[in-house]
Amino acid sequence: MPYAITVVPVMPLRSEPSHKSEIISQALWGECSEIITTGADGWVRVKCQFDGYEGWATFNHVEIIDEELYNAPYTHYTTAWVNRIQLNGKPMYVPFGCIIKPGTGPVTNWGRVTVHFEESPAVIGKANAVNTEALTAAAFQYLNTAYLWGGKSVFGVDCSGFTQTVYKTLGIELLRDAYQQATQGETVDFLQEARLGDLAFFDNAEGRITHVGILLNDHEIIHASGKVRVDPIDNQGITNVDTGVRTHKLRIIKRFF
């Protein structure tokens, strides 16, 4: 199967090959995928390298690459809220948290595309030595970003897209959806034992995990709910700081470093 790399700032992944179809996830600039199926009207079904998520994208959002580049590790990420790069000599602005395979210098080639980094991206962190200041800085890049179902960027994000993108800058690989992320990590028995960077998961009336956020301490959480916001949390769950209304019921806390 052909390999591809995302060459637009944010590539929608849709459930069906139609612009009217639901956006189920996104691939940020620089993320690689496999092309599984080619459909009509320029649509391709792709499988994302990072988390295995599948969806339909338009072919003009990707560039075909060789297997060597596809198998190369993600080594860096973009650090500003928006980052200016040059793509084939033309300017492009890409969001925070794009994980990339930039090669060894400021200019690199992705297939037929030449990429010039106007500012040096940062090295992805090490999962066994997480920098908590970097974690906090990454999370707060998203503050007040609007909630967007399927979103993964500072232009619009859902709850698990937020946690996944923050964590990947730290070198920690999370699955895509909240219920999948809840299967990872080690359980923290009590909220009072929580520390910065633990993930809290919340369920609905049927017991299905539907929400996730990043704990800042044992009484505050940053999460995407309406927008990315900081709210108080207790043993029962999250309370909206603006309205005083209980919004999410705590199910489990997981630790990843």
Q: Positive or negative CA dihedral for 173, 227, 6, 85? A: negative
Using one digit for the tens of pLDDT, what is the confidence trace for 140-196?
A: 999 999 999 999 999 999 999 999 999 999 999 999 999 999 999 999 999 999 999
More confident residue, 117 or 1: 117
Residue 119, pLDDT score: 87
Q: Do the two domains 3-122 and 132-255 of this chain adopt the same fold?
A: no
Residue 61, pLDDT score: 98
Q: Six-digit token pair at 54?
A: 């599948």
Residue 106, pLDDT score: 82
- What residue spans define the domains of the chain? 3-122, 132-255
The Cα 63–Cα 2 span in angstroms is 10
Using one digit for the tens of pLDDT, what is the confidence trace for 67-121?
A: 999 999 999 999 999 999 999 999 999 999 999 987 656 889 999 999 999 988 9
Using one digit for the tens of pLDDT, what is the confidence trace for 197-215?
A: 999 999 999 999 999 999 9
Q: How many CB atoms lie within 10 A of CB 131?
A: 14
Q: Six-digit token pair at 52?
A: 């295995």
- The SS3 of residue 73 is coil
The Cα 71–Cα 32 span in angstroms is 9
Domain 3-122 has CATH 2.40.128.20: no
pTM over 0.85: yes
Q: What are phi and psi of 89, to 5 degrees?
A: 80, 0
Would you give the end-to-end CA distance of the chain in angstroms?
Answer: 35
Helix axes 132-140, 159-168, angle to 10 degrees: 140
Which among 52, 101, 42, 110 is positioned nearest to 76, based on CA atoms? 101
Superfamily of domain 132-255: endopeptidase domain like (from Nostoc punctiforme) (3.90.1720.10)
- C-beta of residue 78 within 8 angstroms of C-beta of residue 94: yes
